[in-house]
């Protein structure tokens, strides 16, 4: 069974600084997708970034980028130039070709002004 682990329950970052959120996963599949979702206090779930396992190049979306290490089954999210609006719960997720979408426990990110 696929599992996703986020070992950091909570992280803090100073405004304008960079922060990295960690995620590891376990799977026996060779191709799959990984996602980061953001959940602000409104409870809305927002897709931040996605990465296909077969692509070696790390995905980037504006200030958000990932460090994907397939052999280590690691998928971290880097947020550059942190803004107050980045404060939220961040979830790492795995989706294989069986279509099952599995999430980690989440990391609360606090941004200090």
Partner 1 sequence: DAGVIQSPRHEVTEMGQEVTLRCKPISGHNSLFWYRQTMMRGLELLIYFNNNVPIDDSGMPEDRFSAKMPNASFSTLKIQPSEPRDSAVYFCASSLWGADTEAFFGQGTRLTVV
Q: Which residues lie near partner 1 (CB under 8 A)?
A: 1, 6, 31-33, 35, 43-45, 47, 50, 52, 91, 95-106
CA distance 84 to 12: 11
CA distance 18 to 32: 28
Nearer to partner 1, 14 or 42 (CB): 42
CB of 97 to partner 1, least distance (A): 5
Enumerate residues 6+ apart whose C-beta is below 8 A from 56. none
CB of 50 to partner 1, least distance (A): 7
Q: Taking the CA atoms of 96, 42, 113 and 89 in sequence, report the sign of the dihedral they define.
A: negative
CB of 17 to partner 1, least distance (A): 26
Nearer to partner 1, 15 or 26 (CB): 26
> 57: which 2 tokens?
């190049």
């Amino acid at each position: 069974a696929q599992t996703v682990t986020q070992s950091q329950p909570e992280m803090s970052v100073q405004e304008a600084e960079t922060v990295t959120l960690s995620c590891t996963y376990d799977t026996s599949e060779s191709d799959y997708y990984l996602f980061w979702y953001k959940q602000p206090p409104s409870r809305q779930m927002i897709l931040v970034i996605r990465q296909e396992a077969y692509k070696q190049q790390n995905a980037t979306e504006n200030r958000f980028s990932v460090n994907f290490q397939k052999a280590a089954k690691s998928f971290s999210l880097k947020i550059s130039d942190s803004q107050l609006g980045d404060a939220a719960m961040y979830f790492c997720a795995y989706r294989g070709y069986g279509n099952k979408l599995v999430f980690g426990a989440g990391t609360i990110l606090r941004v200090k002004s």
